[in-house]
Structures are given as structure tokens and as C-alpha cells.
């Protein structure tokens, strides 16, 4: 089981997941006071709920101030504090000389629950949070996340386009590179290594794919788009170099072309973006850890939770496939 008390990324993944937040809030049933259209909790309320002293809460605020503020903890002062006192003087224990008051919203309250080690209630809540997050993921993906990438409405168009550019790449290898059929897997792996530091075999092992499963069927739309860019650009450079020399290229020459293309400054932002998205999404959605991309793992954005689990995600891949048949036909006709 994941230890939420030690991982900033795991905590933020949960706090960015609006679907989980809603169910967790219903499960806890801790409402606090409704202020500024949001439920708020004073330090005293939070301490009472977790059955710890207020100074324990204050210590966690000092140690984790930036994270808790990022997720909604605020210091209320001035007119806002006056308004709060007027509305809730009978509920909150605030002296007349108090000039500022710390307030948790539900996200920052939950954030604290994932940090707090001294409370048995917080420990129990962490366990339930993980159960709810897993249940939601299973409910919304039909019990499996291997092909969660297909729920992205942009996936299918990108995979169809990638197929077209893949043919241009394999055609260039066939016509202009002096090497046997081994060259197709060799240079595909070379591109994978430059983009996400893994060859096809390593990628399959991390995602627990069978030998006969196609790695690209599990890749996210942005990764497929970048692979297409690499393959099409490298195909162009291979053909250009071969025609300049008026001969087939040797493996070393192809290696140099791929290296120069991959290390060009214009590619670096796109490569880094693909690494972040693949490593971070796989880490959370698929519980798949890309060791060679460890430094690129961040929390999954709220937009990504909506993309893969929300209303805009594709519930039925086969129906969407039918909807883009015309696009597929145009791509084939353009070859």
C-alpha cells in the first residue's frame, strides 16, 4: 500500500482528482462552516476531528506551509475576517482581538489527513482514500487501465496519423539503408531510447504486456505524435543523405542522423513533455514505474483526470473508431 505521508506526488494526485474528492467528501461527511461558497474548517475543528492538539496542527502547517496553501489553506483577515465573525461567532472560538484566522478548505483538510502521523483517524482515512481512488479508477475504466490511453478523444486521430508516418519511416529504411530486416526493430528501438530511454522490450516489461501485444497500442496521444514527428523527420533526413551520397547508407550514418535529430534543441521541449506525461500518467493510472524517467514523474493534472476519467473521455473505443472512419479513409487516400 502506498504511504501517503511520504510522497508529495501521490498526495497531489489524489487532490487533483475531482472525482475522488467528491466521493471522499461524501464518505467523511465533515462539513464545517459554509463560507464564500465553500466549506471551511478552523484549526480547532480540524484538531477535534483528528483527536490531536492544536499545536500538532500548527506544527504541520509550519512544516508543510507551501503544500497546504497550494491546496487551499488560507489566512483570513481584514473585512473577510469581520464577515466570518459576524456569520459564525456562535460556532467558531475567535477572540475579538484576533486579526487573522487560518482556515482549511476540504482539499487542504484532506491534504493534512494524508500528512498527519499522530492521528489514528487520519491513518484510517488514508486507507479509505486509497480504496476510493482505486474504486473510481476501476469503475470508470471498466476494471483495467492498460488501454486507458484510448479514453483520450485525441488518441485515435493521432494513432491513425502515426500509422501513416510510420510507413514513410519504414519505406525510407527499406530504400536507403544497407541492412537486413533487423533494421526496422533496431531503429525503432533507437527512437524509443531517445524519446523515453527504454526500448520496446523494456517498455513492455514495465507495462506487463504480452509478447504479442503492440506497445504503441498503449501509448498516449502526445507520445504517438512525437514518435510520428521523429519517424517522419528521420525518414526525410535518411532519404536526403542517401541522395546526396548517391548510395545506400551504412548503419553508422543512420545512427548519426537519428542522434542529430533527437538532440536538436527544437526537439528537447517536446521530448521532455512526452516523458513527463508518460511517466506521470503511468505511475498513477497504471501503477507502472518508469525507472529511467523517475526525475520526470510529477502529479497528474486535474485536466488529465478529466481527460481520462471524465465526461469528455471516450467510453466506447469501437464507437469512436466508427466516427473517425472518414478521417482514416482520407489518410489512406493521401498515401
Q: Report the pLDDT value the prediction gives residue 330, as an integer from 0 to 100.
A: 54
Cell digits for 315?
467510453
- Identify whether residues 244 and 329 lie together within a single domain: yes
Residue 1 included in any domain:
no
Q: Report the pLDDT value the prediction gives residue 315, as an integer from 0 to 100.
A: 61
Examine the fold and report which residue of 124, 141, 158 is the final residue of a domain before the chain moves on.
141
- Identify whether residues 137 and 152 lie together within a single domain: no
- Identify whether residues 113 and 155 lie together within a single domain: no
Tally: H helices and E strands in the chain? 17, 4
The dihedral formed by the CA atoms of 83, 88, 92 and 97, expressed in degrees to the nearest 10: 40
- Identify whether residues 47 and 159 lie together within a single domain: no
Distances (CA, A) of 305 to 10, 108, 133, 155, 278: 14, 19, 12, 15, 14
Q: Which residue range(s) make up the domain with 52?
A: 8-141
- Identify whether residues 224 and 124 lie together within a single domain: no
- Global confidence as pTM: 0.86
Gap between the Cα atoms of 107 and 100, Å rounded: 20
Examine the fold and report which residue of 119, 141, 163 is the final residue of a domain before the chain moves on.
141
CB distance 75 to 100 below 8 Å: yes
Q: How many domains does the chain have?
A: 2
Examine the fold and report which residue of 141, 169, 204 is the final residue of a domain before the chain moves on.
141
Q: Report the pLDDT value the prediction gives residue 178, as an integer from 0 to 100.
A: 96
- Identify whether residues 119 and 31 lie together within a single domain: yes
Burial class (CB in 10 A: 0-12, 13-18, 19+), 241: middle
3-state SS, residue 77: strand
Residue 61 included in any domain:
yes
Q: Report the pLDDT value the prediction gives residue 331, as an integer from 0 to 100.
A: 47
Gap between the Cα atoms of 316 and 335, Å rounded: 28
Per-residue pLDDT tens listing for the chain (335 residues) = 679 999 999 999 999 999 999 999 999 998 888 988 899 999 999 999 999 999 999 999 999 999 999 999 999 888 888 888 888 877 777 666 778 889 999 999 999 999 999 999 999 999 999 999 999 998 888 778 999 998 998 898 888 888 889 999 999 999 999 999 999 999 999 999 999 999 999 999 999 999 999 999 999 999 999 999 999 999 999 999 999 999 999 999 999 999 999 999 999 999 999 999 999 999 999 999 999 999 999 999 999 999 999 876 766 555 555 555 555 455 445 54
Q: Report the pLDDT value the prediction gives residue 335, as an integer from 0 to 100.
A: 47
CB distance 144 to 308 below 8 Å: no
Cell digits for 334?
493521401
Residue 3 included in any domain:
no
Amino acid at each position: 500500500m502506498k504511504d501517503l505521508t511520504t510522497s508529495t506526488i501521490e498526495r497531489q494526485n489524489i487532490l487533483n482528482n475531482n472525482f475522488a474528492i467528491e466521493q471522499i467528501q461524501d464518505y467523511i461527511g465533515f462539513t464545517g462552516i459554509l463560507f464564500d461558497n465553500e466549506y471551511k474548517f478552523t484549526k480547532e475543528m480540524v484538531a477535534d476531528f483528528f483527536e490531536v492538539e492544536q499545536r500538532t496542527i500548527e506544527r504541520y502547517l509550519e512544516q508543510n506551509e507551501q503544500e497546504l496553501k497550494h491546496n487551499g489553506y488560507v489566512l483570513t483577515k481584514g473585512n473577510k475576517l469581520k464577515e466570518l465573525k459576524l456569520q459564525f461567532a456562535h460556532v467558531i472560538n475567535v477572540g475579538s482581538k484576533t486579526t487573522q484566522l487560518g482556515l482549511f478548505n476540504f482539499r487542504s483538510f484532506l491534504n493534512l489527513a494524508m500528512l498527519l502521523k499522530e492521528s489514528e483517524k487520519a491513518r484510517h482515512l488514508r486507507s479509505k482514500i486509497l480504496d476510493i481512488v482505486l474504486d473510481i479508477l476501476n469503475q470508470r475504466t471498466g476494471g483495467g487501465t492498460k488501454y486507458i490511453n484510448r479514453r483520450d478523444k485525441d488518441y485515435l486521430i493521432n494513432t491513425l496519423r502515426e500509422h501513416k508516418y510510420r510507413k514513410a519511416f519504414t519505406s525510407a529504411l527499406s530504400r536507403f539503408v544497407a541492412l537486413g530486416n533487423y533494421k526496422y526493430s533496431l531503429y525503432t528501438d533507437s527512437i524509443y531510447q531517445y524519446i523515453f530511454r527504454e526500448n520496446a522490450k523494456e517498455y513492455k516489461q514495465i507495462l506487463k504486456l504480452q509478447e504479442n501485444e503492440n506497445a504503441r497500442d498503449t501509448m498516449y496521444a502526445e507520445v504517438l505524435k512525437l514518435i510520428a514527428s521523429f519517424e517522419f523527420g528521420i525518414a526525410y533526413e535518411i532519404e536526403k543523405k542517401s541522395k546526396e551520397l548517391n548510395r545506400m547508407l551504412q548503419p553508422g550514418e543512420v545512427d548519426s542522423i537519428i542522434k542529430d535529430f533527437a538532440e536538436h534543441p527544437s526537439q528537447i521541449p517536446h521530448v521532455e513533455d512526452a516523458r513527463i506525461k508518460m511517466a506521470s500518467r503511468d505511475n498513477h493510472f497504471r501503477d507502472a514505474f518508469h525507472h529511467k524517467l523517475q526525475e520526470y514523474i510529477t502529479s497528474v493534472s486535474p485536466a488529465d483526470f478529466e481527460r481520462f476519467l471524465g465526461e469528455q473521455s471516450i467510453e466506447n473505443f469501437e464507437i469512436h473508431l466508427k466516427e473517425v472512419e472518414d478521417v482514416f479513409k482520407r489518410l489512406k487516400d493521401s498515401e
